[in-house]
């Protein structure tokens, strides 16, 4: 549906611009037609007879029709385009709110698991156990534990196998 609305807005803007361009062109042509061509004619009555009244009438009608059709068409196109813009902005805002809410819930779940593991293990947490419990990739689990270790002044202990365990004072 959005694609059809975008196409409709584009076509309406294009048609409105075309109608208004035709109107401006007709007014410009009329103004050039009314300029005196013959500089040597001093008698204005003779110059007025040279003017093609049918052409002037046709140009006036073309200009008026261009305005009558161009202005509403362009306004409708702008209205549709602005509506689509506002709708797109609201959708992006809603998506950002959902993403932020999801991240906040994940952080709360991780924090809850972190505190639970601290209580169960008397303040000792290994990277592998936390990654398994929180279902985070090892790199993210390490970053999380490193942040919490800095935050709570935890001690690190490296085993002979190279595994790191974090010791928090509970």
Give the pairing type, strands 155-158 and 164-167. antiparallel
The pLDDT tens digits of the residues spanning 85-99 come to 999 999 999 999 999
Query: Beta 164-167 vs 124-126: how paired, if at all?
Result: antiparallel
pLDDT tens-digit series, residues 98-115: 998 988 888 888 888 888
Burial environment of residue 78 by CB neighbours within 10 A (0 to 12, 13 to 18, 19 or more) = middle
Tracing tokens 């009558």 back to the chain, one arrives at: 68
C-beta of residue 43 within 8 angstroms of C-beta of residue 104: no
Tokens, residue 44: 């204005």
Cα gap 24→16, rounded to integer Å: 12
Cα(130)–Cα(153) distance, integer angstroms: 18
Q: Where are the domains of the chain?
A: 2-103, 121-167
Report d(CA 43, CA 10) in Å as an integer: 52
pLDDT, tens digit, 9 for 90 and up, residues 108-151: 888 888 888 888 888 888 888 888 888 888 888 888 888 888 88
Confidence of residue 24 (pLDDT cuts 50, 70, 90): very high
Ramachandran quadrant class, 162 (left: phi over 0; alpha: psi -120 to 50; beta: rest) = left
| Angle of the 138-152 helix axis to the 127-134 helix axis, nearest 10 | 110
* CB contact at 8 A, 22 and 68: no
pLDDT(36) > 70: no
């Amino acid at each position: 549906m959005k694609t059809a609305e975008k196409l409709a807005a584009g076509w309406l803007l294009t048609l409105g611009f075309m109608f208004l361009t035709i109107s401006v062109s007709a007014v410009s042509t009329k103004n050039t037609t009314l300029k005196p061509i013959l500089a040597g004619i001093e008698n204005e009555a003779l110059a007025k007879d040279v003017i093609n009244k049918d052409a002037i009438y046709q140009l006036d009608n073309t200009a008026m029709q261009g305005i009558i059709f161009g202005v509403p068409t362009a306004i409708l196109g702008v209205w549709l385009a602005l509506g689509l813009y506002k709708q797109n902005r609201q959708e992006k805002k809603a998506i950002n709110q959902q993403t932020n809410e999801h991240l906040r819930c994940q952080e709360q779940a991780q924090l809850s698991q972190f505190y639970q593991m601290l209580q169960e293990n008397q303040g000792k947490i290994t990277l592998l156990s936390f990654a398994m419990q929180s279902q985070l990739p090892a790199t993210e689990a390490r970053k999380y534990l490193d942040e919490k270790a800095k935050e709570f002044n935890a001690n690190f202990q490296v085993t002979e196998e190279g595994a790191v365990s974090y010791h928090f004072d509970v």
